[in-house]
Structure 1
Amino acid sequence: MSISRHQAVGAYRRWEPEDFDAPAGKGSAPPPEAFAPADLAGLVQAAPAPSTASPPIAPPAPEPAPSPPAADSVAALPPDFHLPTAEEIERMHDDMRRAGFEEGRAAGHAEGLEAGRAEGYTEGRARAEAEAARLAGLADSLDEALRELDGEIAEQLMALAIEMARRMVKLTLAEHPEAILGTVRSALLQLPQGHAHIQLHPDDLALVREHLGEQLAHAGHRLQEDARLERGECRIDGQGAQVDATLETRWRRVLESIGHERARWHVAEEAEAGDATGPVADTAPPAPEPPA
Structure 2
Amino acid sequence: MYKRPTPLFKPVTPPPTVLSDRSIDWSRWTMAPIARHEEEAERAEQARDHELEQQAIRQREQEDELARLREQARQEGYAAGREQGLAEGREQGRAEGHAEGYAAGMASATDIQQQTAQQLMALLDAAQQEIVDLREEIGQSLIAMGVRIASHIVGVQLADPGPSLLAAVRHILAQHEGCNGTITFYLNEADLALLRPLVQSEQGEMQVRLVAAADLSRGDIKARTAYGDIDATLKTRWDAAMASIGLQAPPPAIDAA
Normalised to the residue count of structure 1, the TM-score between the two structures is: 0.40
Give the helix-richer structure, 1 or 2: 2
